[in-house]
Amino acid sequence: MRNSTTSLSKNSAAAQTDFLSSASSVAASIAAIGDEQIYRNLGEAIMHQVWTALPDGKIDYINRRALDYFGRTDEQMLGEGWQNFIHADDLQPCIKRWQHSLVTGDFYEIEFRLRRADGKYRWHLARATARRDGRGKIIKWFGTNTDIQKQKSAESALRQSEEQFRSIVETTSEWIWAIDARGVLIYSNPAIETILGFTVKELLGKSFLPLMDESERAKFKRLLPDSVEKRCGWTNLVCCWRHKNATLRYLESDCVPVFDRDGNVAGFRGADRDVTERKHAEDALRSNLSLLTSTFEATADGIAVIDLNDRIVTFNKQFVEMWQIPETVIRTRECSEIVKFIVPQLKNGAEFAAAAKKLNVHPETKSFYLLEFKDGKIFERYSQPQMLDGEVVGRVISVRDITGRRQAERSLRESQERYLQLFDSTPHPMWVYDLETLRFLAVNREAIKHYGYAREEFLRLTLADIHPPEDVALLRGYVDEVVAEKAEKTRLVRHQKKDGTIIDVEISTQPIEFGSRSARLALATDITERKRTDAALRESEGKYRMLVESTSEGLLQVDQSDRVEFVNQRLCEMVGYTQEELIGADWTKLLLDDEGRKFIEKVNERRRRGISDRYEMKLKRKSGEILWVIIGGAPVINHEGKVVGSMGIYTD
């Protein structure tokens, strides 16, 4: 920004020099004229104020253009009367410079403000040169005054604009940066010290690649020349960086290319946001969901979750396979249709239909039912309420084939992981608002795009205009609190777009001086979709966790080294150990003999290849007793698709 503003300043100065070049030679041209009447006629014809002075500095001639400007007569302006029209702050420097030229004969040049006839002051450039006789003695001074008010105003506006936008960039909490085409950092705002711990001085002139984690460097070495070739930047790119204290930080980056005068990509400018906490939260949610989903699909029971409207919310494959439910029936998600399909297969079909109807009326009831099929199969069906925040939201049905004839015909496969995508597809909106009036002073393009207002509309609004009417009463108190703290403030609020849409927003603000006004810089992150998604994930996790805790079989999850990571209470009861004794221990040493450990080594080799299976084996209880179990095992796969352990379902 500084470089571009400097360029504009140089252009403005050049324009001013061109504009004044002709005027700067007027006095010299007049001085070269020998006939006084001729140069006075010329002085009346040109577009500048023209004057002459005696060797002692007193004015003896001033042209009509100057008299019209001051609104005075010759008598009022001649001699030293001109000094009465110079701004008080400029008078002494002007007189000092004029006296110097009178004594030395040096060319006279100075800028000062002259009062116009209407009382307003305008900037002028005064220049004068001396005429000498044959012996070199000064016999006359010839001068001009040139109006430079427009140039001075342009310079002032340019400096003010540069300061305003520099303050925005320097105070934002996002890392604003610029690199050349090789990746060398040529600009950075101070936010880099907060985000990565390095000062701007430590990084300028150096490649940013060493700051990135080793896993990211190869990707960026390919991305940078590719972006130069394609003449484009990137959006919402999350990369891993290494903080000065050696910890890892995740930054989300947006940038655009910068072109030189020949149209070639000279580098990139961009903004990065610290999303480390968000990244960790996403990874944790995915890990938990992966664990629960693996458990859900690995169990030998058929499980279904039914809502209060008697519709199936979710189910595992085993549920469909055990009942042999056709796809056309399960697709309806209606429990009544599934009951109609099952009843003809049962010996006690009418009784089962009545029990299912009663359970639908009283979902809070825990129940057990034995189903006998006409073909000889026998199922146990368990039902218990599904609780969320202390309220019944449905029921969980668990069905087990106790005849052994309908055991799973194939290995359970890991279900597809559910990935969470936070709604943040564009750079965040930013604005500056006046602390007293709450009126918007400046807005960026993303604010215009996100909220639907044109820039002119936005600058006529106040903060209250983008809040829902019912939230406006709280706004002034929040702003007063921000002012009192005189520091960065982050708060969750609701905003209303031009089309009436209500969105949840995380607002981060910092104090800023905008021109002569006390203002606040605001960064808005739309978290509407993220809040909805987080709620859905929590609800999903609660449902799956309920399934894990409600199963009547033992559950055991181990890592690649056979160390126990998770065990449910049922398995503890089966083997006689507490959860504290099992977590972190090598389960093969606690529960298996030598023969069992050799067998598990073969099983683990299959598991590392992602293969699920079922097998019988004996376990050693803590008491020394032998326990025979059927184990349904499946690999645990992380969000990168790697096998990180296994989950086992233990049936006594």
Domains of the chain, first to last:
2-152 (3.30.450.20), 172-279 (3.30.450.20), 294-401 (3.30.450.20), 430-526 (3.30.450.20), 553-651 (3.30.450.20)
Q: Are 407 and 300 in contact (CB under 8 A)?
A: yes
Percent of the chain with pLDDT over 70: 83
- pLDDT top residue among 153 and 87: 87
Question: Rounded CA gap, 523 and 360, in Å?
Answer: 50
In this structure, of 56-65, 87-96, 349-358, the range with the lowest mean pLDDT score is 349-358
**What average pLDDT score do residues 320-336 get?**
83
pLDDT at 114 (0 to 100): 94
**What average pLDDT score do residues 240-261 get?**
91
Residue type at position 368 = F
In this structure, of 68-82, 484-498, 582-596, 627-641, the range with the lowest mean pLDDT score is 484-498
Residue 517 has pLDDT above 60, yes or no: yes
User: pLDDT for 445-495, tens place per residue?
Assistant: 888 888 999 989 989 999 889 899 888 888 777 777 766 665 566 788 889
In this structure, of 23-32, 185-194, 290-299, the range with the lowest mean pLDDT score is 23-32
Beta bridge partners of residue 514, listed in sequence order:
517
Residue 599 has pLDDT above 60, yes or no: yes
Reported for 219-227, long-range contacts at CB under 8 A and 24+ positions apart, including other chains, are: 220/183, 224/181, 224/182, 224/183, 227/257, 227/265, 227/268
Residue 549 has pLDDT above 70, yes or no: no
Confidence of residue 556 (pLDDT cuts 50, 70, 90): confident
Residue type at position 600 = I
pLDDT at 10 (0 to 100): 41
**What average pLDDT score do residues 57-63 get?**
90
Which DSSP string do the residues of 528-581 spell out, in sequence order? HHHHHHHHHHHHHHHHHHHHHHH-SSEEEEEETTSBEEEE-HHHHHHHT--HHH
Confidence of residue 7 (pLDDT cuts 50, 70, 90): very low
Instruction: Name the residue among 132, 141, 149 with its Cα closest to residue 54.
Output: 141
**What average pLDDT score do residues 248-276 get?**
91
Top-ranked range on mean pLDDT: pick from 6-10, 66-70, 152-156, 304-308: 66-70
Confidence of residue 89 (pLDDT cuts 50, 70, 90): very high
pLDDT at 568 (0 to 100): 85
In this structure, of 3-7, 14-18, 347-351, 436-440, the range with the lowest mean pLDDT score is 3-7
pLDDT at 231 (0 to 100): 92
pLDDT at 129 (0 to 100): 92
Confidence of residue 102 (pLDDT cuts 50, 70, 90): very high
pLDDT at 361 (0 to 100): 80
Residue 370 has pLDDT above 90, yes or no: no
pLDDT at 42 (0 to 100): 73
pLDDT at 470 (0 to 100): 87
Backbone torsions φ then ψ of 477, nearest 5 degrees: -65, -40
The tokens 């010839």 sit on which residue? 142
Residue 557 has pLDDT above 60, yes or no: yes
In this structure, of 134-138, 276-280, 348-352, 416-420, the range with the lowest mean pLDDT score is 416-420
**What average pLDDT score do residues 538-563 get?**
76
Top-ranked range on mean pLDDT: pick from 29-38, 121-130, 270-279, 583-592: 121-130
Residue 422 has pLDDT above 50, yes or no: no
Structure tokens, 93:
């420097």
Torsion, Cα 279 280 284 289, to 10 degrees, reads 0
pLDDT at 226 (0 to 100): 92
- pLDDT top residue among 516 and 588: 588
To the nearest whole number, what is the mean pLDDT of the chain? Answer: 80
Question: Rounded CA gap, 82 and 52, in Å?
Answer: 12
- By CB atoms closer than 10 A (0-12, 13-18, 19+), residue 379 is buried
pLDDT at 415 (0 to 100): 29
Q: Are 44 and 86 in contact (CB under 8 A)?
A: no
Backbone torsions φ then ψ of 505, nearest 5 degrees: -135, 140
The tokens 């979710």 sit on which residue? 314
Whether the model clears a pTM of 0.85, i.e. scores above it, the answer is no
pLDDT at 167 (0 to 100): 64
In this structure, of 53-57, 316-320, 404-408, 540-544, the range with the lowest mean pLDDT score is 404-408
Q: Is 433 helix (H, G, I), strand (E, B) or coil?
A: strand
Q: Is 410 helix (H, G, I), strand (E, B) or coil?
A: coil
Torsion, Cα 462 466 471 477, to 10 degrees, reads -30
Please give the angle made by the CA atoms of 256, 257 and 260, to the nearest 5 degrees.
Answer: 145
**What average pLDDT score do residues 131-139 get?**
90
pLDDT at 125 (0 to 100): 94
Backbone torsions φ then ψ of 640, nearest 5 degrees: -95, 5
Phi-psi region of 510 (alpha: psi -120 to 50; beta: other; left: phi over 0): beta
Confidence of residue 13 (pLDDT cuts 50, 70, 90): very low
Residue 124 has pLDDT above 90, yes or no: yes
- By CB atoms closer than 10 A (0-12, 13-18, 19+), residue 354 is exposed
Confidence of residue 443 (pLDDT cuts 50, 70, 90): confident
User: pLDDT for 164-198, tens place per residue?
Assistant: 666 666 767 888 889 999 989 999 888 888 889 99
Residue 162 has pLDDT above 80, yes or no: no
